[in-house]
Structures are given as structure tokens and as C-alpha cells.
Structure 1
Amino acid sequence: MSDLQAKKNELLSAFQFRHATKEFDPNKKISEADFQYILETGRLSPSSFGFEPWKFVIVQNQDIRAKLAEYASGARRQLPTASHFMIILSRLPKDMVASSDYIRRMMVNVQQLSPEIAEGKRTTYDHFLKTGFAIEDDPRVMFEWACRQTYIALGNMMTAAAWIGIDSCPIEGFNREKISDLLVEEGIMDPEHYGVAVMAAFGYRLHDPADKTRRCMQEVVEWVE
């Protein structure tokens, strides 16, 4: 078997291993090195225009987890048992418009673009928001578009976790308004710049999952030649 085929098989094995873990073994903890590796795959993930609208909040405080469980029905088994519990925040529309300080800082400080290149990119991005995707006039759509970027990072982190035998579960079963209020009250989230996108739990499975089921390739792929 070639090295390339071995790598393909290893990655596919990780996808076969991964499942939405509902309950974790509370006695097994992810090492600091392994979780930093998972976070790094999130940090290195792609985003539209490279503007990284995400923030990864790792909630290890059990008292706060218990409070979250009141408004997160989809995480009530994961919250008390997961080794690590993540809330992914997304930038609000005010930060994602082309004229915002955040976008300017991203282009100048992070992407290190020259003034001329930065202005060209800002103009292109502004056109994209107003004409291409035409989303700037609808704050809800703008926020959900930014949230979609965070799902790319989440998918990469879950795959990276599965690659090294760590389980995970993406979670949308929560009251966004109540969770947001709680995070603000606890001083965790700045409501002027962030909103809640999605949650995720990481750890080691307590029970073996059922066999994975998916539609066949012919149903999910169409070739246009």
C-alpha cells in the first residue's frame, strides 16, 4: 500500500470513528497537548476573505456548565460529562461590514496587507456584501453568514479530534437568547461584538455507537460534464 493510500485510509477511518457522542466518560480527560492540537486546527481553518469571525470559548467551570444546561436541552448529557465543552461565538454584523475597525485590523495587523492592497480588498468585500451575496441590509442574514464560517472551524476540529481517537458532538439544541444572556451575565461574552453560533463537546465516549448510516454516493453526488 502506498503512503498516499495509507493516509487516505487513516482519514476515512477517522470519519468512520466520529459520531455525535451524547454522553462521555466523565473519568477520562483530554490532555492539554491534545486539546491544543484540536484548537490549532480550528485556528488554522479557512473563512470567507480570511476574516475569521470566530472565538472559541472553552467552559470548564462546572457551575457555569450547570447553568448552561438549563437552557441547552441538547447538551444536558454532554455538559456534565464532557472533558471539554466549547461555545463558538461569531462576530456581529457591525464588525463584519467592510468599514468596521475589526475588518481594518484584520487586513492591516493580521493579514499584513499594504494600504493599496487592503483598500482593494475592502472594496471587493464591500461589493460582495452589498451586491454579490447581497446580505448587508439584513442583520440576521449577516450574522448567520458569519456563523456559517464558524462551522468550517468546528468541522475541522471534530475531524482532528476523531483522527486521534477523541469523541465530539456539535450542539444546536439551545435557547440562543437565554444562553447569550447567561454568557453576558457571567462576563464571558461581549454583546457589543459577539453572538452565539454553536456549541460542541469533546471527550471520550461512554457507550459504543450504533453503526454509521449514510445515503449512498449516487444519491449525494451529481456530476455535470
Structure 2
Amino acid sequence: MDKSTTTQQDILSAMNFRHATKEFNSSKKITDSDFQFILETGRLSPSSFGFEPWRFVVVQNQEIREKLRPYASGAQKQLATASHFVLILSRLPKDMVANSDYIKNMMENVQELPAEVVLAKGTTYDKFLRTGFRLQENERVMFEWSCRQTYLALGNMMTAAALIGIDSCPMEGFERDNIEKVLIEEGIMDPEHFGISCMVAFGYRQYEPGKKTRQSADQVIQWV
């Protein structure tokens, strides 16, 4: 059996292993090295124009988790039992417009682009925002577009976790305004630059899941 076949089987096995874990074994903790690996797959994830509109907040403080629980109906057991709990924040529209300090810094200091490339890429990006996807017409739409970028990182982290036998659960079941209020009060989130996109818990399952159910390939794949 060649290496590529083995890798494919490993990945499919991990995808079948992964499920939305509602309750974790609170006595089992993810090692620092394993969790750094999971976070690194998020950090290295792709984003539109490579502008990385995310921040990963790892909430290990139990008091803060308890403050979040009243406003996170979909994360009750996960907040209480997960080894690691991550809030994924997304940049606000003011940071994502083409002429913002954040975008300028990304192109000049992170991507290290020459001045002429910065100008060309900035022009292309501005056109994309205004006329391509027409995102800049509506701040809510633009924020949701930034949030969509964070889901690329979310998916990669969950897949990476599954590949090394770690469970996860993504969550949108929370009251955004109240969660953000807690984060602001605790000095965790700067409301001038970020809003919350989603949550994800990691750990080891307490119970074995039921049978995985999905539509067949014929139902979801179309060749033309």
C-alpha cells in the first residue's frame, strides 16, 4: 500500500471519528504540545487575500467560562467539561477596508510585499470589496464575510484534532451581544476591532457517539 493511500485512509478515518461532542471527559486533558499543534493549524489556515481576520482566545479560566455559560445555551456541557475552549473572534469592517491600518500592516509587515505590489493588491482588494462581492455596502454583510474566513481555520483545527484522536464541537448557540459584553468587561476583547464569530471546544469524549449520518455522495455532489 503506497503512502498516499494510507494518508487518504487516515484522513477519512479521522473524519468518521469526528463528531460534535456535547460532553467531554473532564478528567482527561489535552497535552500542551497537542493543543499547540491544533492552534498552529488554525494560524496557518487560508483566508481571503491572506488577511487573517481572526483571533483565537483560549478560555481556560473557569470563572470566565462560568460567566459565559448563561449566554451560551449551545455550550453548557462543553464549557463545563472541555479540556480547552476557544472563542474565535473576527475583525470588524473598519479593520478590513482596503485603506485601514490593519490591512496596510498585513501587506507591508506581515506579507512583506514591495511598495508597488502593496498598491496593486490594495487596489484589487478595494475593487473586490466594492464591486466584486459588494461587501462594503453593508457593515453587517462585511462582518459576516470576515466571520466566514474564521470558519476555514475552525474546520482545519477540528480536522487536525481528529487526526490525533482529539474530539471537538463547534458552536453558534450563544447570545452574541451578551457574550461580547462579558469579554469586554473582562478586558479580553477590544470592541473597536473585534466581534465574536464562533466557539469551539476540544477534549476527549465522555460517551461514544451514535452512528454518523450523512447524505450520500450522489445527493451532494454534482458533476457537469
**Where do 1:98-177 residues align within 5 Å?**
98-177=98-177
**Where do 1:32-71 residues align within 5 Å?**
32-71=32-71
Structure 1 position 183 matched with structure 2 position 163: no
Q: In structure 1, what is the Cα distance between the partners aligned to 2:2 and 2:211?
A: 28
SS in structure 2 of the partner of residue 170 of structure 1: strand
Alignment match, 2:73: 73
Which runs of 5 or more structure 1 residues have no equivalent in the other structure?
Answer: none
Deviation at 1:206, TM superposition (A): 0.1
The alignment covers a number of residue pairs equal to 224
Q: In structure 2, what is the Cα distance between the partners aligned to 1:60 and 1:2?
A: 41
Q: In structure 1, what is the Cα distance between the partners aligned to 2:67 and 2:171?
A: 16
Deviation at 1:2, TM superposition (A): 1.3
Offset from partner CA, 1:172-199 (integer Å, 9 cap, x none):
0000000001100000000000000000
Alignment match, 2:217: 217
Q: In structure 2, what is the Cα distance between the partners aligned to 1:221 and 1:100?
A: 40
Offset from partner CA, 1:58-110 (integer Å, 9 cap, x none):
00000110110010000000001000000000000000000000000000000
Alignment match, 1:195: 195
Alignment match, 1:26: 26
Offset from partner CA, 1:142-164 (integer Å, 9 cap, x none):
00000000000000000000000
Normalised to the residue count of structure 1, the TM-score between the two structures is 0.99
Displaced runs of 4 or more, over 3 A: none
RMSD: 0.3
Deviation at 1:3, TM superposition (A): 1.0
Q: In structure 2, what is the Cα distance between the partners aligned to 1:4 and 1:209?
A: 29
Q: In structure 2, what is the Cα distance between the partners aligned to 1:60 and 1:8?
A: 34
Q: Which amino acid aligns with 2:216?
A: C
SS in structure 1 of the partner of residue 136 of structure 2: coil
State, as a whole percentage, how many aligned pairs show the same letter. 65
Structure 1 position 92 matched with structure 2 position 92: yes
SS in structure 2 of the partner of residue 76 of structure 1: helix
Deviation at 1:137, TM superposition (A): 1.5
Q: In structure 1, what is the Cα distance between the partners aligned to 2:210 and 2:118?
A: 50
SS in structure 2 of the partner of residue 88 of structure 1: strand
Alignment match, 2:204: 204
Q: In structure 2, what is the Cα distance between the partners aligned to 1:137 and 1:93?
A: 11
Q: Which amino acid aligns with 1:4?
A: S
Normalised to the residue count of structure 2, the TM-score between the two structures is 1.00
Q: In structure 2, what is the Cα distance between the partners aligned to 1:78 and 1:53?
A: 25
